Structure 1
Amino acid sequence: MQTALYLIPVTLGETPIEQVLPEYNKEVIVGIKHFIVENVRSARRFLKKTEPSINIDELTFFDLNKHTNRDALESYLKPIENGFSVGVISEAGCPAIADPGADVVAIAQRKKIKVVPLVGPSSILMSLMASGFNGQSFAFHGYLPIDSSERIKKLKLLEQRIFSEDQTQIFIETPYRNTKLIEDLVKHCGASTKLCVAMNITCEDEYIKTLPIKSWSKHISEIGKLPCIFLLYK
């Protein structure tokens, strides 16, 4: 295996490993002893689920989350300079996509370290695939503003871009604000604008539904307080 920074996708929820990740990923994982992870506990659980024979105590984990001192990131890549590969593991889905892993990848690119993205599930792309919206032109905006007036202003701006640029708009929200977000969409966006809500993608209780915004007031109770991907289009 070539020495590199490997970007290792994980399952979305409790989906069986073999259902969403290729066997090759396991071959890469067992050859790595150093991991940069968003959450050490969940990363250890994922690695053990992928290959039960892995000795977790022999592995080295570097934390990479909102609390990490960014000045320390470059040191996380030191094993590569000594000939040992490093893996990046997100909390869910693909690392470096809406994920702090992008920061260490940027350092690797700057230092001309080989970066290898492995195949795995992305809730952003899979929700777009299933939405029926424009997959030729789309934008992901991350979290919307917390302030109510700023959030409404942002939603109106996104809706304008749907029609002016023929572009699907994708964003996420803190789960406990799901209901308020949909209420704002129903109240402030055009009745014919379409909203797709996707959650628990690849899991047994997968939910992906596209409806005109005016119809969503009848379905708010279906969403609850679970992590969702929201997509807007005309």
Structure 2
Amino acid sequence: MTTPGHLYLVPAPLDFGCAVQSPLTDALPDATLRAAAGITHWICENAKSARAYLKRIDAIHPLATTIQAQNIVELPREVHKKGDHHGGFDARPLLAAALQGHDVGLLSEAGMPAVADPGSSVVRAAHDLGLAVKPLVGPVSLLLALAASGLNGQNFAFVGYLPQDATERTDRIRALESIALRTGQTQLFIETPYRNAALLQALVASLQPNARLSVSWGLTLPDGRTRSADVKTWKRTPAGPDNQTPAVFAIGR
């Protein structure tokens, strides 16, 4: 009888799409890189970027097989567009290799798969199939940003993306602010980098002067930064992330 493989959750560095890349060893433990080098079957968001990441790993720990021979399967397009955090997508067929005895790695573009990125459907499917799920150690932008914010790290919520429509976005910002100021629960959210400036402008314009706003960008990179201040300070000096660098936003008190 074939012994099933494991599903490994393989974190990726946070420099995806950034002009500068840091050495992998600055952001990922050696044990994670060694484990990733031994995996030959992958589920990912994008095969091209997955191969680029594997090439970086190969320069540190030789891969178990060539990059060309790696078995890489992409999550369907609808998973990227609509997400898979609420169920509805059956990822069990993607784990056929694990049932045949191969370890399978789940990989996102940056950070931990299934956290602020697609992949939770694959993890659910692994549990339903009786496969062991093994998360590897690596950077998670949300937790790094929360730790660096000075906001409440005992009670917090990640709410994903805010609406793109200006009126709906303002309403959402004020609703999140109300929760943060009333309960002390830090509200974390993200945005596509090219909308960073627009979101920051909306936050500064919509939030109360006494609310605290934290923005982290370029985390784990040499020029990474977290800025945390009350909104009246942000209004005086609104400098924040550029429109190329991934950022995490947080509202608190």
Instruction: State the TM-score, normalized to the length of structure 1.
Output: 0.93
Tell me, yes or no, if the aligned pair for 1:183 and 1:217 is still in contact at 8 Å. Answer: no
From the superposition, tell whether residues 62 and 72 of structure 1 become closer, same or farther in structure 2 (CA, over 3 Å): farther
Correspondence list, 1:52-131, <5 A: 52=59, 53-54=62-63, 55-64=66-75, 66-67=77-78, 73-131=91-149
Tell me, yes or no, if the aligned pair for 1:192 and 1:212 is still in contact at 8 Å. Answer: yes
Tell me which moved more, 187-196 or 170-179.
Answer: 170-179
Shift of residue 117, structure 1, vs aligned partner? 0.4
Shift of residue 222, structure 1, vs aligned partner? 3.8
- Which residue in 1 is equivalent to 2:11? 9
- Which residue in 1 is equivalent to 2:196? 178
Shift of residue 218, structure 1, vs aligned partner? 4.1
Give 1:176's aligned amino acid: Y
Q: Distance in 2 between matches of 1:16 and 1:65?
A: 30
Shift of residue 101, structure 1, vs aligned partner? 1.0
- Which residue in 2 is equivalent to 1:22? 29
Tell me which moved more, 202-211 or 169-178.
Answer: 169-178
From the superposition, tell whether residues 71 and 124 of structure 1 become closer, same or farther in structure 2 (CA, over 3 Å): closer
Q: Report SS of the residue matched to 1:100.
A: coil
130, 134, 156: which is aligned to 1:138?
156
Gaps of 5+ in 2: 16-20, 81-87
- Which residue in 2 is equivalent to 1:36? 43
Q: Report SS of the residue matched to 1:45.
A: helix
Residues 188-223 of structure 1: CA distance to partner in whole angstroms, max 9, x if unpaired?
Answer: 211011101101101011011101112223443442
Q: Distance in 2 between matches of 1:159 and 1:71?
A: 33
From the superposition, tell whether residues 136 and 65 of structure 1 become closer, same or farther in structure 2 (CA, over 3 Å): farther
Give 1:211's aligned amino acid: A
Tell me which moved more, 43-52 or 66-75.
Answer: 66-75
Give 1:87's aligned amino acid: G
Number of aligned residue pairs: 234
Q: CA RMSD in A?
A: 2.0
Tell me which moved more, 102-111 or 135-144.
Answer: 102-111
Identity, in percent, stands at: 37
- Which residue in 1 is equivalent to 2:252? 233
